[in-house]
Amino acid sequence: MSQFNFGSGAVAFYAVLANKALNLRKGQTVVFDRVLTNIASTQSGGSYNATTGVFTAPLSGVYVFSCSIMAYDTSFTHVALHKNNIPLSTMYVNGRSGHNFDSAASTVTVSLTKGDRVYAKHIDNDQGLEGIYYAGQSTFTGFLVQRQHDDAPVVGLK
């Protein structure tokens, strides 16, 4: 991964599922383990953790997150984007009944305070996600739209 100087306030990441995630448990965080972009000018290494699957906000502000998932052939999956254990949006994909390799996506705009965590969590037991095969259909990305300064109030989901 290349290193660039983006100045203060740049935050962005893009990660894909490099391998099939089979037999996921209810409540398990989906770990998008291949990081293609991970920029956080406030710290080295970025804000998305490819080991835990969790993005931690390095700055307070308004962020956009998007997640796309693809169900493994003949299975289904139900995933939700979460902020600090609060569901923001859900994606349900049915790869059964002739809908092989069906996919879904969700995009959210959310106010975060420094240290807030955003991640994709599996809602139902078992089933699976299709990995990076066929150009990476299961992805997770996010970026800072506008930095929140300490003297301005944050409006939105707490």
DSSP string, 53-122: TEEE-SS-EEEEEEEEEEBPTT-EEEEEEEETTEEEEEEEEE--TT-TT-EEEEEEEEEE-TT-EEEEEE
Tens-digit pLDDT profile for residues 108-125: 999 999 999 999 999 877
Is there a contact between 29 and 8 (Cβ–Cβ < 8 Å)? no
- CATH class belonging to 11-147: mainly beta
Q: What is the pLDDT of residue 99?
A: 65
Q: Which tokens in the block code for residue 68? A: 């796309």
Tens-digit pLDDT profile for residues 64-99: 999 998 877 777 788 999 999 999 999 988 777 666
What's this model's pTM, rounded to 2 decimal places? 0.84
Residue 132 scores a pLDDT above 70: no
